[in-house]
């Protein structure tokens, strides 16, 4: 457990679709219509209502975030964000990854979400190196929390042992 200002931050290994926070974050693709990894798992376990709401939204540009209800998941909302595909943004991957986390947290604040769970965005199929990504994650979280109150709990739910270890080690020296 870590703390930054009034927010408790947890890092653990698990399955984000089991989270019972107000919102979970979906590492989506631009269509928001489901895919592999976290995106596919959220759509599958959350049910058809998430897909129907995503169709109405009509997609999401890289670095931005959109919100739907959570369907059959334990959380109330799913915040869908699109991280960068590593090597596909002319060197602007760091900015797009930052915006994915930053905009997800800002959307959570708009909806008065008190607890939120994140996967490791862009570090799976999108190929972003986890050791670089975690630094961007911490910066985005601190930047939002420095200027805003309201989010009481942020969980980082990592599926792989390696991602969990990298996050834990970096958070140990950052908070």
Active site members: 39
Closest CA to 41 of 53, 62, 59, 26: 26
Q: Is 175 helix (H, G, I), strand (E, B) or coil?
A: coil
- CA 24 to centroid of chain Cα atoms: 7
Q: CA-to-CA distance for 157 and 41, rounded, in angstroms?
A: 14
- 120-144: string of b/e by CB count within 10 Å (b at 16+)? bbbbbebebebeebbebbbbbbeeb
């Amino acid at each position: 457990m870590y703390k930054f200002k009034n927010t408790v931050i947890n890092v653990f290994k698990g399955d984000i679709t089991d989270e019972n926070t107000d919102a979970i974050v979906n590492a989506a693709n631009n269509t928001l219509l489901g895919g592999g990894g976290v995106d596919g798992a959220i759509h599958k376990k959350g049910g058809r209502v998430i897909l129907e709401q995503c169709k109405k939204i009509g997609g999401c540009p890289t670095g931005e975030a959109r919100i739907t209800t959570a369907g059959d998941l334990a959380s109330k909302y799913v915040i869908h964000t699109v991280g960068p595909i590593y090597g596909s943004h002319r060197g602007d991957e760091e900015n797009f990854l930052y915006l994915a986390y930053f905009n997800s947290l800002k959307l959570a604040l708009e909806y008065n979400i008190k607890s939120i769970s994140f996967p490791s965005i862009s570090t799976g199929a999108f190929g972003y190196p986890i050791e670089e990504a975690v630094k961007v994650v911490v910066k985005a979280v601190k930047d939002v929390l420095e200027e805003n109150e309201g989010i009481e709990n942020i969980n980082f739910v990592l599926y792989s042992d390696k991602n969990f270890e990298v996050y834990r080690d970096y958070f140990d020296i950052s908070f």
